[in-house]
DNA sequence: ATGCAAAATGACCACCTGGTCATTTTGCCG
DNA sequence: CGGCAAAATGACCAGGTGGTCATTTTGCAT
């Protein structure tokens, strides 16, 4: 779709190297500050080559985005299936932990997502944000539908509001986790190994509320 | 601090025009894509002039940031005082509504904040993020302390976790509100006038939890 | 070994950026 | 009015960008 046939004809090793270099550059600098010059320099290939692989910077970026989105989809499909039998709030915990695992394993992909959300001047930015949003809504929706069917959730709360709350807390939890190393003040994750505890606390607050 | 004396000697009208143009540019394009050329073109002044007002792009940006931070401080001080007598969860509602009011009144300032959070290559970015974080923590902390003293909040929940949850929901609520016009899918704010309802729903979920 | 298409190359281009500075214009004071 | 400091100006610069393309190198089929 976004790659030229020259790129698709490359050995898998080289293809992975190119994608890896592009992922690094875009995750470190976002779209606009990312430099094709830097990418080719890091790869040790000529500048012209990258334009034999991708029409332009935009195509390269969209290719990287689709790659990242595929990774996220696989991850979500995995958790959804493996937690299928758990009660609602246990599934929430499993999902949060899976998210943490993904961010831990692929910090650069998560960083690209954050950049897309807030950087200006990204081609098709709205479409990209919408794709991610749909993925998240689909996943949380499947959890909520099951939870409602099993009567594990109050029925007097608007489902859109519930989705919003879950989405907000999920996203912020992952942000806090992925930025824990540079968070100067009090952070959720100062001491190592505190992830499970925090997940439990957040989900417990979500379950029973803040009021006594 | 960041402005040169030439700028401070300008008439208030001109100073405000310059700040306004800079706010527009930075909020639309973030730090790196923002162009001094665009700003001076919008103002109809010579390029050299802006460098008589500010040492460089970085100083101009930091000046704008401090300006925006001052506006937020005033806003927070206002809500804190005017809601002092309310019970905890009512204060939360007042605070959320005040945030919505600020975003409504100063959408460009909120946009600059979002850009700072996630854009790379911003000078002193970490310090700026930390300043905003401290402001938010100070405010939420004062609400929570009062709520705890009045026994309106469960005592078995970690206060850091509570702060995290409040902060996450606040921020996301404002994001959803400020982006409501471009949110293609189901949004919290499709129909006009739904803000109060959403505030009530979110705070109710926060108070009593999602479980039946 | 030869031929030939596909892939790799890097010098080059037009464009834009933040920033400089010698020069001109302004506006106030006596 | 003259004088003079402060402010405004815009041509200019070095450096970086995404992108091009004529040329060379590679690697495989015959």
pLDDT above 50 (res B184):
no
Phi, psi of B64, rounded to the nearest 5 degrees? -60, -40
Determine, for residues A120 and B184 on separate chains, whether the beta-carbon distance falls below 8 Å.
Answer: no
Architecture, CATH, for domain B57-208: Orthogonal Bundle (1.10)
Closest chain B CA to residue A160:
B188
Q: Is A123 on the interface with B (CB under 8 A)?
A: no
- pLDDT value for B181: 64
List CB contacts (< 8 A) between B171 and chain A.
168, 172
CA distances to B6, B8, B16, B39 from B45, rounded to whole Å, are 15, 17, 14, 9
Question: Is B36's pLDDT higher than 80?
Answer: yes
| C-alpha–C-alpha distance, residues A39 and A179, integer Å | 25
**Near-strand C residues (CB closer than 7 A):** A 5-6, 9-10, 14, 45-49, 51-53; B 34-38, 47-48, 51, 56-58
Percentage of residues in chain A having pLDDT higher than 70? 97
CA to C1' distance (Å), from A123 to D9: 36
Task: Determine the residue of chain A that is closest to B151 in CA distance.
Answer: A212
Spell out the long-range contacts of B72-79 with Cβ–Cβ below 8 A and sequence spacing 24 or more.
Answer: B72/B102, B72/B109, B72/B132, B72/B135, B73/B135, B75/B101, B75/B102, B76/B135, B76/B139
Q: Is B3 helix (H, G, I), strand (E, B) or coil?
A: strand
Per-position DSSP letters for A134-171, written without gaps between them? HHHHHHHHHHHHHHHHTT-S-SSS-HHHHHHHHHHHHH
Closest CA to A58 of A107, A109, A106, A128: A128
CA A145, CA A161: separation in Å to the nearest integer?
Answer: 14
Nearest to B168 by CA among A175, A153, A110: A175
* Closest nucleotide to A60 by C1' from CA: D18
The sign of the torsion formed by the CA atoms of B113, B77, B158, A148 equals negative
Burial of B30 (0-12, 13-18, 19+ CB in 10 A): buried
- The answer to whether B170 and B93 have CB atoms below 8 angstroms apart is no
Average of per-residue pLDDT across A85-111: 97
Q: What is the maximum alpha-carbon separation in chain B?
A: 65
Question: Looking at the C1' of nucleotide D20, which residue has the nearest alpha carbon?
Answer: A48
Give the pLDDT band (50/70/90) at residue A22: very high
Taking each helix axis as running N to C, give the angle between helix B159-178 and helix B195-208, from 0 to 180 degrees, rounded to the nearest 10. Answer: 160
Task: Give contacts of B 17-76 with A, CB under 8 A.
Answer: 28-30, 32-33
Sign of the torsion angle spanned by Cα atoms A186, A192, A198, A199? positive
Is a pLDDT exceeding 60 seen at residue A186? no
Q: What is the C-alpha separation between B29 and B108, in angstroms, rounded? A: 11
pLDDT digits (tens, 9 = 90+) for A43-91: 999 999 999 999 999 999 999 999 999 999 999 999 999 999 999 999 9
- Mean pLDDT of all residues in B158-183: 87
Could you tell me how far CA A76 lies from the centroid of its own chain? 10
CATH number of A56-208: 1.10.357.10
Asked if residues A157 and B203 have their Cβ atoms less than 8 Å apart, the reply is no
Who contacts A95 (Cβ-Cβ below 8 Å, separation ≥6)? A79, A83, A139, A143, A170
* Residue A20: exposure state from Cβ atoms within 10 A (0-12, 13-18, ≥19): middle
Closest CA to A64 of A10, A99, A18, A33: A18
Angle formed at CA B183 by CA B182 and CA B189, multiple of 5 degrees: 105
The set of residues with CB closer than 7 Å to nucleic strand D is: A 34-38, 47-48, 51, 56-58; B 5-6, 9-10, 14, 45-49, 51-53
Question: What does each C-alpha distance from A41 to A38, A60, A70, B152 come to in angstroms?
Answer: 5, 16, 27, 59
DSSP per position, B6-23: HHHTS-HHHHHHHHHHHH
Least confident residue range of A26-30, A160-164, A197-201, B191-195: B191-195
Over residues B47-76, the mean pLDDT reads: 98
Average pLDDT of A17-30?
97
Share of chain B above pLDDT 70, in %: 96
| Tens-digit pLDDT profile for residues B63-112 | 999 999 999 999 999 999 999 999 999 999 999 999 999 999 999 999 99
What's the pLDDT score for residue A1?
A: 87
Go through B77-90 and write b for each residue having 16 or more CB atoms within 10 A of its CB, e for each that does not. eebbeebeeeebbe
Q: Which of A79, A85, A84 is nearest to A102 (CA)?
A: A79
Give pLDDT tens digits for B142-151: 999 999 999 9
Return the pLDDT at A148. 94
């Amino acid at each position: 779709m976004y790659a030229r046939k020259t790129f698709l004809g490359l050995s898998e090793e080289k293809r992975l190297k190119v994608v890896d270099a592009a992922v690094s550059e875009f995750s470190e600098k976002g779209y606009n500050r990312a430099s094709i010059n830097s990418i080719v320099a890091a790869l040790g290939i000529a500048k012209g080559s990258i334009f034999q692989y991708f029409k332009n910077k935009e195509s390269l970026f969209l290719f990287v985005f689709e790659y990242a989105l595929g990774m996220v989809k696989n991850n979500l499909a995995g958790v959804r299936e493996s937690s299928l039998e758990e009660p609602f709030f246990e599934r929430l915990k499993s999902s949060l932990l899976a998210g943490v695992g993904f961010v831990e394993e692929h910090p650069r992909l998560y960083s690209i997502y954050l950049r897309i959300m807030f950087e200006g001047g990204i081609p098709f930015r709205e479409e990209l944000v919408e794709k991610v949003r749909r993925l998240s809504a689909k996943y949380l929706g499947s959890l909520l539908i099951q939870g409602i069917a099993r009567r594990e959730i109050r029925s007097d709360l608007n489902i859109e509001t519930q989705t919003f709350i879950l989405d907000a807390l999920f996203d912020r939890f992952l942000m806090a986790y992925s930025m824990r190393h540079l968070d100067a003040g009090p952070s959720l994750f100062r001491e190592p190994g505190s992830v499970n505890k925090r997940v439990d606390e957040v989900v417990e607050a979500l379950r029973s509320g803040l009021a006594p």
